Structure 1
Amino acid sequence: MPERAVVITRPRAQAESLAQAVTALGRRAVVLPLLEIAPLADTTLLRAALAQLPSYALVAFVSPNAVDAAFAHLAGWPAGVAIGVVGEGSRAALARHGITDENTTIHCPPDPAHSDSEHLLASLDLAAFAGRRVLIVRGESGRELMADTLRAAGAVVDTVAAYRRSVPALTPVLAAELSALLAQPNDWIITSSEALRGLAALVRQLDPAAGPARLAAQHLIVPHARIAETAQALGCSRVTLTGSGDVRILAALQS
């Protein structure tokens, strides 16, 4: 039997550094992107929103992809504009663009095990945003919880799409790779509920009869409680919840 692999399902651009770290642990890393991230065909609305950054009291980025897509159009960050992120991955993405706690106010859930919109909102003084403008930078679709909660607190909320995401099609190449990975127990790093639901759909398409059981036999390593809940709903019970950030994911692989 081949050695147990660590399957990294992040979009390819964010998978390589984690793959290198996994390899450095002496494990075999397999990069299998389950979400494809693409730039918008038309960035007019995104650039218009970014041009108004100084007028916002808070700009919330829903993912590292949102950070990278926005900063592709920015030369810097306006002084005094606070940022909200839901996890350590987005904080690391900001750091790559020179944005840290030392030069910008960054709001982030205090508990890495609960890196989501609910816990970001819980960490904010929502009343302080009453009558003030907030911008949410996200993909073309997404949850409305953050926008709805801030509006209920009296904030004037704008949302803008910064990128497109989609589950890959089941090509013959992907089908062969999936089939081989499901044929034995492996460790799967899943950092998105959407990616996990996409994986489950691909597996059902690949093998409607036995596929779901083969997926349920795999060990899933997830950074967020919401992804763990998605896994349970899909029948996957071998789940390790690490908390946000690659350091915690890598520690889970070593334990």
Structure 2
Amino acid sequence: MQAPAVIITRPPHQAQHLQALLEKAGRSTIVFPLFEIEPISENAALDQALRDLASFALVVFVSPNAVDAWFQRLASAWQWPAEVAIAVVGAASRQALLNYGIDDQHVRIFSPSNTERTDSETLLTELDLPALKSKKVLLVRADSGRDFLADALRDAQIEVQAITAYRRVTPTFDASKRQDLQAYLNASCDWVITSSAVLKTLLNWCAQLDQPDAVAKMQQQHLFVPHFRIAEVASELGFKHIRLTASGDEKLLLALQSPL
């Protein structure tokens, strides 16, 4: 029996790597973006932080989008100062850094060592908080999200500067997306969900379909999620089939190649 199609809910440019891995493995894929990323073009605070980078002991990128927002404002010849450490939450952000030529050979990169549980709490345990006391940390993030890490660093008497580098935007639920979503529900696909906000968008869109059981059908779809917090939100929202994978596209691929 043919495996169901895999629906990747990321923006197209962020779906390409996973899509290529899956198609190479023989899985059919559909890119159905449930959020879009908008950089903040007029961003004086980010531009100032770029100029003042050497004054920070650590720069925390909350996501691959934060990495992109930072490096896309730079000239290609720009080099990261080796004395400024970097912290990221998951494998996707490490890969994003690598795309710009940044790895552990260039700079100290902190990230959760437990790939099964990648979040701000586990990242915090990797940081040497006493060594950062009274020093400056830059947090590059979206226009929405949790404040846990910033608050925890400030509680440790670390000076935190948080900069909004990009926005998450929900696409318009137009006639084409309505038709596509209805078809995917009736086909029972495998869904890759890499943002908990996507789950609420999905249920909201299903509730707008001319199909009384659309929400219930969505809750019966098979979800593949790389973070335990997304899995928790999915469970709270009534989804029944949730596979928690480790962080990174390769781990998602591995899970999608094995039965639920």
TM-score relative to the length of structure 2:
0.94
Mapped to 1, the partners of 2:89 and 2:211 lie a distance apart of 35
1:59 maps to amino acid: V
| Matches for 1:130-169 after TM superposition, within 5 Å | 130-169=133-172
Q: What are structure 1's unaligned runs of at least 5 residues?
A: none
Q: Please name the residue that 1:251 is paired with.
A: 254
Q: Deviations over 1:201-238 (max 9, x none)?
A: 22223357422211111000000000000110110120
Q: Please name the residue that 1:127 is paired with.
A: 130
Q: Please name the residue that 1:176 is paired with.
A: 179
2:90 maps to amino acid: G
Q: Please name the residue that 1:93 is paired with.
A: 96
Indicate how the Cα distance of structure 1 residues 217 and 45 shifts in structure 2: closer, same or farther if over 3 A, else same: same
| Matches for 1:1-255 after TM superposition, within 5 Å | 4-74=4-74, 75-206=78-209, 209-255=212-258
Q: What's the Cα RMSD here?
A: 1.5
Indicate how the Cα distance of structure 1 residues 2 and 167 shifts in structure 2: closer, same or farther if over 3 A, else same: farther
1:138 maps to amino acid: R
1:17 maps to amino acid: H
C-alpha deviation, 1:181, in angstroms: 0.3
Q: Deviations over 1:136-186 (max 9, x none)?
A: 001122211110000000000001011111111211011111110011211
Between stretches 28-37 and 199-208, larger displacement belongs to: 199-208
| SS of structure 1 residue aligned to 2:54 | helix
1:56 maps to amino acid: F
Mapped to 1, the partners of 2:104 and 2:3 lie a distance apart of 41
C-alpha deviation, 1:197, in angstroms: 2.2
Q: What are structure 2's unaligned runs of at least 5 residues?
A: none
Q: Deviations over 1:71-96 (max 9, x none)?
A: 01232211210000000000000001
Identity %: 47
2:206 maps to amino acid: V
2:124 maps to amino acid: L
Between stretches 137-146 and 147-156, larger displacement belongs to: 137-146
TM-score relative to the length of structure 1:
0.96
Between stretches 17-26 and 89-98, larger displacement belongs to: 17-26
2:238 maps to amino acid: G
2:86 maps to amino acid: I
1:132 maps to amino acid: K
C-alpha deviation, 1:196, in angstroms: 2.1
C-alpha deviation, 1:124, in angstroms: 1.3
Q: Deviations over 1:78-126 (max 9, x none)?
A: 1210000000000000001011011110000001111111110122122
Mapped to 2, the partners of 1:231 and 1:186 lie a distance apart of 16
